[in-house]
Structure 1
Amino acid sequence: MKKMFAGVALAFAMVIGASASAKEPMHKPTIVLVHGAFADASSWNGVVKILQKDGYFVIAAANPLRGVKNDGAYIASLVADLKEPVVLVGHSYGGNVITDAANGHSNVKALVYVSAFAPDSGETVAELAGKFPGSTLGKALAPPAELGDGGKDLYILQNKFPTQFAADVPSAQAVLMAATQRPIAETALNERSGDAAWKNIPSWFIYGDADKNIPPQAMAFMAKRASAKDVVVVKGASHVVMVSHPDAVAKLIEKAALAK
């Protein structure tokens, strides 16, 4: 599957290159989007449409949501098959995944954190979420679903999902997102992060000031710690800022992609 992605990316680049003018070479990086917990790849649909229109090849990867090392290795293997420059974009827990996945891959030119965790080495998502007051996620979670291997999966209660996760998304769409949410393994939230790729790779941050999953103060802290190139705070935006404000998110991703 990874080689298929790489082959499609190459074909796309050749088509775009053939139509580009001599004055404007189209060597744009590939954008890899990594969703977080309680979401899926379709959460990037609005952003994907904009990026594709602007000539970028985009992969909205299916994040397994099983654990930092497992998920990081999966995304890293995809990145390894893409020989051209890559911008890695993570939402929520997906930020933890790209922080791990980028390590050792010289073709990753930028990291973009969208309402996302950017952990330092040894930190966990649970620790960062509780570092500052404001998250109400714990009260919105359903009782853990027991798995056959002894593990547990976490979901957001559907009747609380719109307010907790997607308060600025049209209600019908938020209800649909609640029904199609993907669970995260409970252990993933307490798994310690590996090396922090943002220490060596430039980063950009965007988040909403009405986020109820990750306190905005926590994201401001992480952005400052990472010496982010740019930080965009979207007034009134919920945790799924890429759904409610795809234009702002796409704009920042393109800014990261074009940075020297």
Structure 2
Amino acid sequence: MNEYFKNVIYKLCISLVLLISLSSYNTSYALSVEDKVDILIQNQETQKNLNEKIKELDNILESKNKELDNVKDYIDNEGNEKIEVITISFVPKEEEYDESEKITSEIITLEQNKSVLEEELQDNIIEGVKLEKSIEEEVSMQLKEEGSEFIEGIWPLNDYKDISSGFGYRIHPITQVKSFHKGIDIPAPQDTDVLATDSGVVIFSGYQNGYGNVVKIKHFDGKITVYAHNNSNVVSKGDIVKQGQVISKVGTTGNSTGNHVHFEIIVNDENINPIKGIIR
């Protein structure tokens, strides 16, 4: 068997095993939110792998179709005596047709493999949506039982607990104008790990005006957390992150006077004092 097709079949088997393992976790089972988040992260990773495999097959299919067109053109040109003698190879015509049939067969197999992967991807997408909805429903029930608006998170930095600028009105250190500070500033050395205070979905990761490099996470209880002035971001928009996962590195990008993380919590579209939303 062609080595390429061996690899395709092997990867396909691995993907099917992952799908079966994911499907076995019916979201109606009594799994903890943490367990479901783990499965959701695995599901997202599987989706990424499947997308990469589909893209790889698309590239191979494009190449094979071009190869088939060239063979067909050669056969047609030879039959119509439109090809120059200097370009004619002394290959029996039967072999030319065999080559065309071989490439056509390979294309059919590739398209079938792609179809299987696309179906598997769709199944994973549906499973991911169900999982995310299940997590949100469970968190919502927990909040109702506790009479809370949101779930407290962890401190966004290990070992660094000092606050250099608190929540509320202050004299801006750069503009020297009194303005409202929407979060808290926690100083730490450059490239210190910045942690997700709670599990959720990254809704923004990039550069934004005075915030510099910033990560924004929407959590399963509905709140949004903001981590700004990062030296670098290590997550991307759409990523599922767990509480305590490294999402960025401390820096001083944007309007900043030194290395620190500017941290905000937004509940129902309003900034609250972050001290009330995380355990110090």
TM-score (norm 1): 0.22
If asked which structure has higher relative contact order (CA below 8 Å, sep 6+), I would say 1
More strand by share: 2
Structure showing greater Rg:
2
| TM norm structure 2 | 0.21
